[in-house]
Amino acid sequence: MIVPVTAVFAAVIGLLLLVLSGQVVKYRLKYRKGLGVNDDPEFEAAVRAHANLIEYAPVGLIMLAIAELNGVSSSLIYWTGMALVVGRILHAWGMINGKGGPHKARMVGILLTWLSILVAAVLLLWNVFQVYG
């Protein structure tokens, strides 16, 4: 069985990861710093935007893929995946443009991310209890 809906979101998140990785590399080359960060808030924000994607995206994508494999409606997977991807893009954009400080896009992005993970969890549980309960 394949997971075409989740695959599209995984591809977009993979591209976002490469963009954020490029931001980190830019600062690592600029400051000749192979590990850690210095006192530049833009450098630290780039590292944290990249790390935050790595912390949240895999869990969301795995949950979406399991839900899709288990037969959850493709439209529910689509909208949950859209919330995850838009949330991750907004969070990264807000983190970088806000230099790690408060930023509306960052806040909306994490809320969308959390909401998508919550919805995916509910979809998974609902699906399991419908099939096996």
What are the pLDDT tens digits along the chain (133 aa)? 899 999 999 999 999 999 999 999 999 999 999 999 999 999 999 999 999 999 999 999 999 999 999 999 999 999 999 999 999 999 999 999 999 999 999 999 999 999 999 999 999 999 999 988 7
Cβ-contact 62, 121 below 8 angstroms: no
Rounded alpha-carbon distances, angstroms, from residue 12 to 34, 71, 101, 121, 133? 27, 22, 26, 21, 35
Q: What's the pLDDT at 66? A: 98
- Categorise residue 36: left if φ over 0, alpha if ψ from -120 to 50, beta otherwise: left
Q: State the Cα–Cα distance between residues 48 and 115, nearest whole angstrom.
A: 21
Domains and CATH numbers, the chain: 4-126 (1.20.120.550)
Q: What's the pLDDT at 53? A: 98
Q: What's the pLDDT at 133? A: 77
Q: What's the pLDDT at 9? A: 98
Record the pTM.
0.95
